[in-house]
């Protein structure tokens, strides 16, 4: 075991930072165990678009577990990966945080997040920052913002939709692979209640939010 692995901390309380990490993990993370019994935790991103946010994730992991993940960069595939091999942390994710390893077809929101409003908000932030985006579409010569989150697991899509409705959002999940929140009211609510820690998302949200006052000088109304 390397010297760094002996320093891994396994916190026994769920915090705001833990809840955000769970959202990040269900978006871009994975747990892997190979035939050689290597226990690996991975986070993957786009080298050009996500480098700064991957640094944020690595600092979050350091804060939670007292260890920085190894940074692997592949310029040919334009990818950046954070990797740590640790059996203890692998089973901490599985047994304490209730995160499954392997394929992401049956992902679900842990109950300790669903039953805590503060945890749920930062969980959604982490999920949006990894698998979400903001786009501006034109309809009838007018611009509308659309916040969307792409999710591979139908079970997780349904759970996220239910949680968003519980919080007063109006999601459109007619497609089984993503959830969308459309319009300026939903944008304003997202910025005020969920937000982002991903620099590219922060930039896009701020740009779109600045348009709210320009388009609706008297304020937004439901």
Q: How far apart are CA 217 and CA 214, in angstroms?
A: 6
pLDDT digits (tens, 9 = 90+) for 48-103: 999 999 999 999 999 999 999 999 999 989 999 999 999 999 999 999 999 988 76
**What's residue 3's pLDDT?**
41
What's the CA gap between 83 and 45, in Å, rounded? 12
pLDDT for the residue numbered 216: 44
Q: Looking at the structure, do residues 177 and 139 belong to the same domain, yes or no? A: yes
Give mean pLDDT in consecutive 10-residue pieces for the chain, a chain of 222 residues: 62 96 96 90 94 96 95 93 95 94 81 95 97 90 90 90 94 80 93 95 89 49 35
Q: Are residues 52 and 131 in the same domain?
A: no
Question: Tokens 């922060």 appear where?
Answer: 202
Domains identified in the chain, total number: 2
Question: Domain boundary residue among 72, 102, 132?
Answer: 102
Torsion angle in degrees (nearest 10) through CA of 99, 201, 215, 164: 0
Question: CATH number, domain at 199?
Answer: 3.10.28.10
């Amino acid at each position: 075991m390397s010297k760094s692995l002996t320093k891994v901390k396994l916190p026994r309380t769920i915090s705001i930072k833990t809840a955000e990490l769970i959202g990040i993990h269900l978006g871009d993370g994975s747990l892997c165990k190979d035939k050689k019994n290597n226990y690996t935790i991975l986070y993957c991103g786009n080298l050009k678009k996500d480098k700064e946010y991957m640094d944020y994730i690595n600092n979050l992991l350091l804060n939670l577990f007292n260890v920085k993940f190894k940074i692997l960069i592949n310029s040919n595939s334009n990818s950046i990966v954070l990797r740590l091999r640790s059996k203890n942390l692998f089973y901490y994710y599985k047994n304490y945080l209730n995160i499954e390893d392997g394929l992401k077809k049956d992902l679900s929101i842990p109950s300790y997040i669903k039953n805590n409003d503060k945890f749920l908000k930062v969980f959604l932030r982490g999920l949006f920052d990894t698998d979400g985006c903001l786009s501006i579409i034109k309809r009838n010569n007018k611009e509308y913002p659309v916040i969307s989150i792409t999710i591979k697991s139908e079970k997780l899509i349904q759970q996220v939709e239910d949680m968003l409705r519980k919080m007063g959002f109006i999601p459109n999940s007619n497609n089984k692979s993503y959830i969308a929140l459309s319009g300026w009211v939903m944008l304003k609510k997202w910025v005020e209640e969920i937000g982002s820690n991903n620099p590219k998302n922060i930039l896009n949200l701020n740009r779109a939010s600045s348009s709210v006052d320009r388009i609706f000088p008297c304020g937004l109304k439901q």
